[in-house]
């Protein structure tokens, strides 16, 4: 696992600034504390920081082909590199290392830009073709590894693994992107290709970028789709195939030259990964979980249950509320851009704890999106029944009753879920999905934002990612549930979940791997009939069938929990001074982005227990704490 950087001056007679390239790499030393490496030639600089995982002795980067005409810097893991290496050797290529990085330059020699189609892994890489004066950068299919880039007029093309590295270059300006701000307020994250800075972009997942002759262009090389013919397969066969394919995805992610373990939450996804790792690994598997004092947020008993059943070497650390709160001031250091997902805190704590014991850890990310695990899918199915009720029943009885429910600060409390459901149920699918999952909808943004911010962009541009899903009957062979699964996979998973996991794990110099995101496994799951994934109101049906004889019944049958934090309680208590300071009316007026009166109203209602505004306030707090905006 690594961090990569690069500079290409458009004037070929102007040498790339070595000092700047080294400073950019130093800004992401947490991604690779073990080693660094650089390529400097004329107007080109490539650099990397390395966390040594594969080929500890000879895997130094950058790596070139035989004649030194093609160079690569690489972040990630190629899980099928041994197979690719044998194939390339048979074709006459000569290898100097045993690392997965070296297969990239030889694949490029044989397949050109299409080399990405041959890779099974998580990756972001940059490849410089000296003879053609041409740069190729690419990102893995689901977006596990990040990559930012910008072109500064006629001066330079610059890229880096993280935004905090990119802005080290003196040509990169920090002009706030108001469209990205509004998207963040809605979704709680900034979706690619946008970033919080004007003119700076995130390369989309499953895309490659070619820069030559002073111009860049992007291409998609892989596409998620539910439109292919569905498999005609029985439940028993499907369960066996799910287990077999997931086991193989786990097996190839166990390849490592350093200690390895499994992040175990006690949910069905991470428990399945742990169970199959125990089948595939040599020796006992290490598992890691954390526990919390707040009962409604704690899942540790389920993790211990799974560890006992599987016989793993289980490590658990219990955190007090004070220890959880202590990480809040550190959040800005972890992030390139604001993130309104409070689960960053427990994810960071888990990664730090795990890193004390191993360097690589497998996790369960991706199971919810491709096997219909989120409660929102059941909510979408229930909206049909709710909207069939007479209007007077909904508006005269149900909605007033729901609004009168007492406010609770517990994790996913009934009042929180009921109020969100009623608020979104009358909206079209894509919009209601985001209302349930996100923070500030269009109406709330009109109250929050100043006229200058609102007038900069129309709502159509702000919400275009979800409004493409605003229809009632699906399209082609897909229905609403699969459309929402697609929205979550391409939007929430890629842009929020994987962003969070990458920053939390890399801040601890821990590499995380996600077997559920193996692209061959995903392609198989997308061909399964929806009834095998989502039956009635139950998600992950076929995964539960596949793992029922390998995991405790309590884990198979437990509902989705989520990695939550007592944010609602903290805002009223320990975090109140910080929140009040950052949201001081005079400060907000100087910033000129948010209306102080509306922000004050949110705080007052939340503190008095009149409403639960945890998501809105936390989303604003994370933006106000974002350090790159203050320089």
125's enclosing H/E stretch is strand 121-129
CA distance 66 to 105: 9
457 touches 178 (CB < 8 A): yes
CA distance 214 to 191: 26
Number of residues assigned to the chain:
631
Distances (CA, A) of 339 to 176, 244, 368, 500, 566: 16, 36, 20, 8, 17
Residue 287 token pair: 């598992």
25 touches 36 (CB < 8 A): yes
Report the b/e string of 54-74 with b at 16+ CB within 10 A. bbeeebbbbbbbeeeebbbbb
Catalytic residue among 2, 278, 351, 496: 2
622's enclosing H/E stretch is helix 614-624
Question: Considering only CA atoms, which of 134, 6, 18, 139 is closest in space to residue 61?
Answer: 6
Please count the other Cβ atoms lying within 10 Å of the Cβ belonging to residue 288: 28
Residue 2 bears catalytic tag:
yes
CA distance 239 to 233: 10
Whose tokens are 């939007």? That residue is 491
553's enclosing H/E stretch is helix 553-557
Whose tokens are 């892989």? That residue is 222
- Number of helices followed by number of strands (H, E) in the chain: 32, 19
Sheet hosting strand 313-319, strand order edge to edge: 313-319, 286-292, 260-263, 360-362, 511-513
Grouping H, G, I as helix, E, B as strand and the rest as coil, residue 36 is strand
Which residue numbers are catalytic? 2
């Amino acid at each position: 696992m690594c961090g990569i950087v690069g500079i290409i001056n458009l004037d070929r007679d102007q040498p790339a600034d070595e000092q700047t390239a080294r400073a950019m790499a130093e800004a992401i030393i947490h991604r690779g504390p073990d080693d660094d490496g650089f390529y400097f030639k004329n107007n080109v600089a490539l650099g990397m920081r390395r966390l040594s995982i594969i080929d500890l002795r000879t895997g130094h980067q950058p790596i070139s082909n035989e004649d030194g005409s093609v160079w690569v810097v690489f972040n990630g893991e190629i899980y099928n590199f041994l197979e690719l290496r044998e194939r390339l050797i048979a074709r006459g290529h000569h290898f100097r290392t045993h690392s997965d990085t070296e297969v990239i330059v030889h694949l490029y020699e044989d397949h050109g830009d299409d080399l990405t189609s041959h890779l099974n892994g998580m990756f972001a890489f940059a490849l410089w073709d000296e003879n053609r004066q041409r740069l190729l950068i690419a990102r893995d299919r689901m977006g596990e590894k990040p990559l930012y880039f910008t072109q500064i007029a006629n001066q330079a093309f610059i890229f880096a693994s993280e935004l905090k590295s990119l802005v080290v270059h003196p040509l990169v300006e920090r002009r706030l992107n108001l469209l990205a701000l509004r998207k963040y307020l809605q979704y709680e994250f900034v979706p690619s290709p946008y970033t919080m800075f004007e003119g700076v972009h995130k390369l989309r997942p499953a895309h490659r970028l070619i820069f030559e002759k002073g111009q860049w262009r992007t291409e998609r090389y892989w596409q998620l789709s539910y439109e292919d013919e569905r498999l005609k397969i029985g439940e028993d066969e499907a369960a066996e195939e799910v287990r077999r394919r997931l086991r193989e995805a786990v097996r190839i992610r166990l390849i490592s030259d350093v200690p390895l373990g499994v992040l175990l939450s006690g949910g069905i996804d991470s428990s399945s990964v742990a169970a199959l790792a125990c089948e595939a690994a040599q020796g006992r598997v290490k598992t890691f979980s954390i526990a919390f004092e707040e009962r409604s947020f704690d899942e540790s008993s389920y993790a211990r249950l799974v560890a006992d059943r599987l016989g793993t070497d289980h490590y658990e650390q219990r955190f007090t509320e004070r220890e959880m709160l202590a990480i809040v001031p550190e959040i800005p250091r972890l992030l390139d851009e604001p993130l309104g997902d409070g689960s960053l805190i427990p994810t960071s704590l888990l990664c730090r704890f795990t890193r004390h014991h191993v360097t690589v850890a497998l996790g369960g990310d991706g199971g919810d999106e491709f096997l219909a695990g989120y409660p929102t899918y059941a909510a979408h199915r229930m909206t049909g029944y709710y909207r069939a009720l007479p209007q007077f029943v909904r508006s005269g009885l149900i909605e007033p009753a729901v609004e009168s429910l007492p406010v609770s600060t517990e994790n996913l409390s009934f009042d929180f879920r009921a109020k969100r459901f009623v608020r979104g149920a009358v909206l079209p699918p894509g919009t209601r999905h985001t209302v349930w999952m996100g923070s500030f909808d269009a109406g709330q943004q009109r109250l929050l934002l100043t006229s200058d911010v609102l007038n900069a962009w129309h709502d159509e541009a702000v919400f275009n990612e979800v409004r493409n899903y605003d229809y009632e009957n699906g399209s082609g062979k897909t229905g609403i549930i699969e459309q929402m699964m697609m929205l979550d996979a391409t939007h929430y998973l890629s842009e929020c979940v994987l962003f969070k996991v990458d920053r939390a794990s890399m801040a601890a110099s821990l590499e995380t791997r996600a077997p559920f995101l193996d692209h061959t496994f995903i392609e198989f799951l997308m061909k399964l009939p929806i009834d095998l994934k989502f039956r009635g109101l139950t998600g992950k049906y076929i995964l539960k069938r596949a793992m029922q004889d390998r995991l405790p019944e309590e884990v198979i049958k437990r509902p989705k929990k989520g990695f939550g934090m007592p944010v609602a309680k903290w805002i009223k208590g320990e975090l109140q001074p910080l929140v009040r300071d950052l949201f001081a009316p005079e400060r907000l007026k100087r910033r000129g982005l948010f209306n102080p009166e509306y922000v004050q109203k949110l705080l007052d209602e939340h503190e008095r227990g009149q409403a639960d505004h945890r998501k809105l306030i936390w989303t604003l707090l994370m933006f106000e704490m974002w350090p790159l905006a203050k320089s």
